[in-house]
Amino acid sequence: MDVNLRPSPIAGLWYEGDPKALARAVDSYLDKAQLPEIKGEVIGVVAPHAGHRYSGPVAGYAFSALRGRTVDLVAVLSPFHNFHNAPLLTSAHDAYATPFGPVTIDRSTVNALNAELKSELGIELTAVSNDPEHSLEIELPFLQRVLAPQWKLLPVMVRAQDPRVSRGVGLALARVLQGRRAVLIASTDLSHYYDQPTALSLDKNMLSKVEAFDPEAVFDAERSGKGYACGLGALTAVMWAARELGADKIQVLRHATSGDVTGDYSAVVGYGAAAILKSNA
C-alpha cells in the first residue's frame, strides 16, 4: 500500500539529509547534553526549532531527557510560520518523511482531538498538504533517535496566539491523551534578533514564567514585551495540557543563543530547553 508521505522541504538544508550524517549529528547533540538531576516523570519537553546547527546543542538537552523512553504517541505542537486563515492546522498526509524513514501520523487520535476541539472551542483542525512548516518537522529526527520505535505522531500547528484557544487546545489534548503512553513536545524559539544582552534578559524573563508553570504569565510576558516565544500558542497549550495530565513542575535545562554558535552577538535568536515533570509522589 502506498503511504501518502509529506515530503521534507528542509532535509539537507535545516538538518543533515544523509541518514548516517544525521545520526552522527543528532547523537552528538544528545551525548554532549549534561543534564541536571531531573526528579519526576518527564511527560513533555520544550525544545527549540531552528536549523540543527544553531539550536541542536540546546535541543539535545530537551530530547536527552526522553532518551530510551517507550511511548505509543508523541504530540508535537508547533507554531505555523506561514500565512493561513485557520487557527489550528494538522497534516493531511499519512506520515512525515525524514532521512530516518517515515513518521506515521496517528489518524484516529487526530480525529479524536478534532472532535474534542469542536466541543471545547467550536474550532476544528484544518488539514493541509505539502506544508512548508519547519518547526514541527525539525523535532522528528531527535524523536526518532531517542524513543523506542513504533510510536505515532499527533501533529498540531497552532497559528492562533490567543489564551482562550491555547487553553482549549490544552484541555482537549489532555482528554485525548488521558491514560495513553504519550509525551508532549512544545516547539518554540525565544526572542528574535535582539543583541545578546537584551536577548538574555528577555529570555530569562520568559523562561522564568515557563518554569513557574504559568501559561497566563507566559502570554502576559509576550503582550508586555518583556519576553518572547514564537511558539507562544503551542507552548502554552502544552503547558495547559500537561497540567491537566498531572504535571506539577517545569525544569529549565538549558538556554543559549544563535550567537553562541555563530559568534555574532549583534542580532541573535534565543533557544531554551525544558522538561515538564510529574512528581513521583
User: How many other C-beta atoms are found inside a 10 Å radius of the C-beta of residue 194?
Assistant: 20
Question: Would the pLDDT of 281 be above 70?
Answer: no
- What are the cell numbers at 276? 515538564
- Which 3 state secondary structure label does DSSP give 9? coil
Note the pLDDT tens digit of each residue in 141-176.
Answer: 999 999 999 999 999 999 999 999 999 999 999 999
Mean pLDDT for the stretch of residues 117-142: 97
Share of the chain above pLDDT 90, in %: 97
Are 140 and 96 in contact, with CB atoms under 8 Å apart? Answer: yes
Question: Whole-angstrom Cα distance, residue 165 to residue 148?
Answer: 32
Q: How far is the C-alpha of 141 from the C-alpha of 169, rounded, in Å?
A: 25
- As given in the structure block, the three cell numbers for residue 237 are 497549550
pLDDT digits (tens, 9 = 90+) for 215-234: 999 999 999 999 999 999 99
State mean pLDDT over 201-227.
98
Q: Which pLDDT value is given to residue 158?
A: 98
- What is the structure's pLDDT at 1? 56
CB 277 within 8 A of CB 41: yes
Is residue 70 scored above 60 in pLDDT? yes
Q: Which three cell numbers stand for residue 236?
A: 502554552
Sign of CA dihedral 37, 43, 49, 51: positive
Question: 229-275, pLDDT tens digit by residue?
Answer: 999 999 999 999 999 999 999 999 999 999 999 999 999 999 999 99
Instruction: Give yes or no for a contact between 239 and 218, defined as CB atoms under 8 angstroms apart.
Output: yes
**Per-domain residue ranges of the chain:** 5-278
Number of helices and strands in the chain (H, E)? 10, 12
More confident residue, 83 or 190: 190
User: Would you give the distance in Å from CA 253 to the centre of its chain?
Assistant: 15
Superfamily of the domain at 5-278: LigB-like (3.40.830.10)
Buried b (16+ CB within 10 A) or exposed e, 156-182: bbbbbbbbebbbbbbbbbbbbbeeeeb
- Residues 81, 53: contact at Cβ < 8 Å? no
pLDDT tens string 88-103: 999 999 999 999 999 9
Provide the mean pLDDT of the chain.
Answer: 97
pLDDT of residue 79 exceeding 70: yes
Tell me which residue has cell 526572542.
Answer: 191
